[in-house]
Each structure stands twice: as structure tokens, then as C-alpha cells.
Structure 1
Amino acid sequence: MNVSLKKVITQLRENKQYFSTPCYVYSIEDVANNYKKLKGDLGTSLIYSLKANSCLDLILRCGHIFEDGVEIASIGELNLLPRGQVFRYINNPSADKKFLRSAVSSNSVLVVDNLSQLGLIKEVQVKRSINPLVLRLNHSILDKFGVIPGRVRSDHFGLSWGDALAALDICKKNHLTVAGFHIFRGSYSFIKLANITAQAALHITKSFESALGYPIAFVNLGGGIESHWQNQKFEFSRYRSLLSEFPSYIQIAHESGRAIMETAGYFVTKVRYVKWINKTQYGICDGGMAQNFLLAKTEQTFRRLQEPIIVRKGIVVDSGDTANCGYLVGTSCNRDDVIGKVMGKEIEPEDLAIFCNCGAYNASYTLAHFLRLPPAKSYLME
């Protein structure tokens, strides 16, 4: 049991009157440590992806931690943050003129996804000064500059190579400065593809600078870093050596949400009732998929439910000799609202179930409109 989990259990026991379930508990210390460790391993700038966790109180408390800025993916996220709190990169393939204007007025850097967006930016430029642009490239471009092992899922993000060259030409003709480019292979791709992506990006850098006629200043190599990257077999020293081949005037950046936030968050729900059906016990909780959609695992072909820590009257319940298997279910009246599995112990009313690794996407990816069920509260832990 790690230190922050012990602190969560202690807080729930000693200050239970201050907690209302279902809730998320976030460790500011874990966020800071994860960010510092990952940035050190990468040896580059590290941009936080706000969509992973947009809890306002948490972001405000961690603004000084995210020293290299945050990536914003919606106008709602943009309006969430007070101006001047952290530097912003705006990256959304459907950003319209209103969104782009708001981004420019907030002194954000625009990440251009398509030529139509570039046309809107030209219109905005007439009235406002715009920061140097970053062009997002579709990851299929990497195939032009290196051999990619295995099959990588295609996506619709970013510019094709032909559109990227056209965008560079448009920027030159309209006096729009290009800072550099952003290219990303997708979630969980870093360990497998980081070195090859960096090698290809070196060639892309030369092509950009040749087309523009001036040196670029920024290359974002994306993320795709797992939450437990420290346990993966990856030679970060070799990777840092490869990145040193980029010209010294270029700022190399990565971005991450999951690797920074996932292990720093916990989801806590209380068992209201217990019943048995065909020798299987069910704990009916006050929180479920309406407050933490990812725990229900409905998007996986084979559902591997997480087993939570069960706390009873402030004490962790250990597994016993019983072969009992039970399930924790939520309140949404949906048969898929099964959020956890309990092995070797019986569940009792008033038990607390603590789910680990819930700091990234668990809250931000959850829709709570069905039955007008209340969202989970959030608490910060120093």
C-alpha cells in the first residue's frame, strides 16, 4: 500500500464528517512528484493535457507545477482557467472562429489541425496579434520518414503531408509565423514508438525549415505515456541522447495527462445495501458509472473489473478464507453499472470502497445526465 493511499484511508477515518460520497480524492503531492519525475526522465518540456483531469481546484493548486503550460481541447476548458494562471496551447480539430478568437485574446498558442482553421486564423489575424502557430501533423506522415514497426490505428487528427506543405506556403504568404509542429502516435504508444517518432521528427524539422526559409523553434512529440511508465523497460537515457540531435534552438516538448494524474487520484463510494442473488453478493453503492464511467469497463470487449480496497469503520478489510465473489454496482438502473469486483470477503452496508488509479479521465470522461444523478465531489489532499 503506497503512502498516499494510507493517507486517504487515514483521512476517511479521522475526518469522515468532512467527506461526502461518492467522491474523488486527489493527492497534490503525487501530481507534483509524477510531473517532476516524468519531466526529468524525458529531459524536455512537459505540457499537461487538461482533458485528463479538469478539476478546477486541483488545477489552480497545481498551476505552478505545470510550468511548461497546459493543452486545452475545448472552449469550456479555456473559460475554466483564469487568465494568466498557466500558459495555454489550444488543440481542437473543430475549433471555430469564436473559439479561436477567445484563444488569441488569452495569449494562447494555436495548434492548427486543418487548412480551414488556418483560413479562420487569417481572418482573426487582421484584427489581433497572433502567437507563432504550431501545425498538427497526422501521424501517418511518420511513415514517410521512417519504418514503423507493427500496425498503428489510423485517426483523423492533423494535416496530411500535402496539406502541411500547403499550410506552410499559406503562412509564408500571409506573414503568419510558424513555431513548429506537433505529432502524436496515440495513447499508450510511447514505449513502443518514441525513438522512431523522434528520428522521423528530425527529418520533418529539416523539411519545415527548408519550406519556411527560417528555423523553427518548437517540436511537440506528443505523449502516449502510460501511468506506470517507471515500471516499463525503456531506456530514457538513450532517448534523451537521440533528442540531443535536434538543433539546440528548438524547444522539444512532450505532453501527458494520464502519466501525471492517474496514480494521483482515488474514487470513493459507500455501500448502501447488500443482497445475494444465486450465491453472488452485490453491494449497491451510492456511486457508479454516472460518477465514474471508466470503472464500468463497458468499452472493453472483455471486462476486467477493478478490485477496490474495502474499508470498514476505518480499517482495511483483508481477504479471508471464503471463496465469495461479489460485485459493486451503482445507482443508474443500468445493468452495465457494475464498477468493481470483490474477492474473498463479504461486503457490508456502510463499507467504503476505494478505487486506485482514478486520477485521469475517470471524472472528466463521465457523463452524469442520466436520471439527473449528482456528480461526485472532489477533495484535495496535501
Structure 2
Amino acid sequence: MQAARGVVTWLLFPVELNMLVFSDIEKSFEGKLVLRGVSYALAAGKILVLLGPSGCGKTTLLRIIAGLEAPDAGQLKLDGEDLAKVPVHKRGFGFVFQDYALFPHKNVFDNVAFGLRMHKWSHEQMRSRVTQVLALVDLAGFDERSIHDLSGGEQQRVALARAIAPAPRLLLLDEPLGALDRALRERLMLDLRVILKEAGGVVGRPEGITAVYVTHDQAEAFAIADQVVVMSQGRIEQIGSPTALYRQPATPFVARFLGMENVFAGVVQRDVRPEEARAGRDSLGHSSFVVRTVLGDVEVALPSVSPQRLRGEKVSLLIRPEAGRLTTDGEAANVVQGIVRDVSFRGRYQIVTLQVGDAVLKLEMETAVILPEAGHPITITLDKTAILLLEGA
């Protein structure tokens, strides 16, 4: 499912159990609208990441799901049950926070067993479950450790084990890796998806742990999510899998927020009708049209299903970093001439930064390619199939 700035109505969502559904959620604070008709349906066992910049509404939405805030409008259901009628302490949710929220005076076992003890599990049951979830988060044998003796990453694993142990109906994670240093964060985010996917079998939820995860870090979102909801100014900009978002960001905002820097406004140079997407293609199946940009006239491959484009229509282009190739043929398609500002070695590839008039273009090339030094002219050609048309200028 993909949506851009659209309100998805309740009737579009099938009513089935083991699904979190929020429909047309709105919320204001002091007269400022922070959520604007947000809708989504999350299937059981899936990991949803709410991704966006600070102030986009993602944490407010998480708090509404948790029951810590009430929406001004809209509906929220889990397993077909209206959550507005369910107190927070009876929802059966698990929580993982950025600051861990562990009990410093309790050891690892007692922290992890806290929720189980509240549910009056026997000591034997608690011992078995705590042993299982500590092994799951790679902390086997840490039962008697003091919280003060653990690293930040180990403390976050304890917090995760505590949240998973009671087999929550829904697991909510609010920037759980935000307090960790970069190296530790990158290691843990790779482990976190595996932990969440394997947790269902450990705690008796065969469909898997259903989770909603908030972050502003696109790398974190891509590493962990089954589905990503990209938010901006209280709206959903785009919904999709990490792969789908990378391959086809819907808007310039999504592209830039995902770290794609080569976004350029342009104007269509001739009318383009839908039938042109199905006829007149080259031997590789590509037809094309031309967009005038600050880089010059750029030829863009026409999608197989394309809406009508009118001459003079304002659009945006995303040029993939792998689109560029060195050329000496000034008559080739999509030739761009510029000045090398910088070449950055990245191991298997190098990033070349070009100054093209007032614009900056960043491209990736293999390290075997010999590039001009900074300050020298460079001529490249852009592969039209590595240029995407985005909605909006």
C-alpha cells in the first residue's frame, strides 16, 4: 500500500483480527494541528517504522497508539477492538524507550521478570521465560548482573527482553537506539530485526511480534522495518517497504529525507501522453521525454504506466548516484559538463562532487575509474534509466 498526502478511509481496511488499524487520526496541541487524518493498517507479526524529522507527528502517533494521548478525531483498533475503550494498563502492550527505563536497584533477572511478576507467573515459569528471552537478545548468563555493570547496548537489550517477555499484543519502540553511539547503534539495529522476528516463537506468538517503531534515522528504518511510513508535518508522505521507498520515492521530500541529494526541479519540454509509454520504445523497452533543469535538458525514461505530462509542467527529478559515467563524446545523450569539487574514496566506490553552474551533483563511481582532480573540468553522461520522475516541483 502506498499513499502520498492522502486520507485513507476506514472502509479501505479489511476488518480482521491480529491487526492494528488506525483511521483518520487527528490531534492538535494549543491550536496547532500535529496529525492530519493519518491512516494505516498493520498486519500481525509485521514491523512498522514511523519515520520522519522532529516535529512531524510520529511520536504523537505512537503515544496515541499507546493510550498516553487521546486523538481529537479518528479511530484506533487492535484485533477488531476499539482501543478508546481499553485503559492503558489493560492493553497488553510492551514499551521500549530511548532512556531504557530500567530499575537500577534490580538485577537483570528482576528487570526482565518485572512484567511476568505483575501477571503473577510462578517462579519456575519466570525463570524459564527470562532464560529464553535473555538468550534471544544475546545476554545468556547475565541474570545476576547489576544494571550498573552493563554497557549502554546491553542495557537496551535488557529493556527489549523485559518488553518481549510477557508476549505483548503490540510492541512500541520510541527511538530505542537514540542514546547509543554510532558504532553500537549500527550493530544493534542489525540485531534488532532478527530479535523481533524470532521473538514470536520464543514467547508463544506464532504470528510473530507486531511492532511499531519510531525513528528519525532512515538507515535504522531500512534495517528494521517491514513497512515504513514516512511522515512530514502531520501527514503521511509515503508508505512502502524499504526496497520500494528506495526504488521509487514519491516526492522530493521523501527522496531528500532518505538521503538522496540529487533532486532537481525542472519543466517538461513537450506534451507526453500515456500511450507513449506503451509505444515507440527502443530495443531495451525505453521511451523517453525531456525535462529542462539547471543541469541542462535531461532525457528521462518514460515509465510503462505514465500519466499525461504537459509542456511547461513543473516536475522534480531524482538522479541516482550511480547514473553518471565519464565520457569524451560531447554528442552523447544527457551530457553534463562541470568542475570537480571533491573526490571522496569509500573503498569499493568513490563519490565525486561536481559543480555544474549553480548546482551541485554527487555521483558514485568505481574506484578503478580515474577521475580528474579537484578544480579540473569533467564531462559525464547520465543514464536516463537511473533518473526518476518525482511528484511535485
- Using the size of structure 2 for normalisation, the TM-score is 0.31
> Which has more radius of gyration?
2
The structure carrying a bigger strand percent of its residues is 2
